[in-house]
Amino acid sequence: MAGIRTEIINTTQIMCSDKLVLGTWGNVSAREGQEKMWITPSGMNYDSLQEEDLVLLDLQGLIHSGRWKPSSEWRLHAAIYRARPECSAIVHTHSPHATAFAIARQNIPPVVEDLVEVVGGSVEVAAYTLPGTWELAENCVRGLGERNAVLLANHGLVGVGSTLPEALKVCQIVEKTAQAVLLARLLGPVVELCEEDIRKMRNFYLNSYGPKLTGEEV
């Protein structure tokens, strides 16, 4: 099984190939135990990023391993890990369609099944403040709530999950949904899913979705 640092590098490569980020923007982290996290360094291009470039720090910001300065958004990651102990991975992207909603400061509505299954409802917009601050971290946690994605006003998207593939999938599905909503609005008003259906689909995803053995030989 791939180690945490290998998974982080793999995640950054997919982010680039899927055009969820450009250059050095965005960041990725994963827990190391409950009180530490590995995170991408500040201002380093993902094309050349190596495992030894990642930084291990605790949730107070003390560096335990690594030669580079951690991402300027380490506070945001630390705040989410403190608020959401079930989350073990965070992916922050600047994907174009999701960021369009962040710029307009409009929520991405709960309109398709995969979005509500992986996110748990709409994608809300966290109140604006300067990047890299504790205030942004606090706003992000409030905007995230119990869901798995949040927009940062005039900034980008944050997705969380129990694993890095899950957090990345959240960002991919939010970006796809944002694009679909923008296209749908050219045709007319979009129709949101009702709260009861959202709850049922989220529960199905958490408890029944995915490959499961039937106990029968094929």
Catalytic residues: 73
In angstroms, the CA 141 to CA 163 distance is 18
What residues have CB less than 8 Å from 48, skipping those under 6 apart? Answer: none
In angstroms, the CA 29 to CA 57 distance is 10
In angstroms, the CA 55 to CA 128 distance is 27
Structural tokens at position 10: 């793999």
In angstroms, the CA 152 to CA 27 distance is 14
What is the three-class DSSP state of 145?
coil
- Sign of torsion over alpha carbons 12, 16, 18, 22: positive
Region for residue 23 given its phi and psi (left: phi exceeds 0; alpha: psi -120 to 50; beta: otherwise)? left
In angstroms, the CA 98 to CA 91 distance is 14
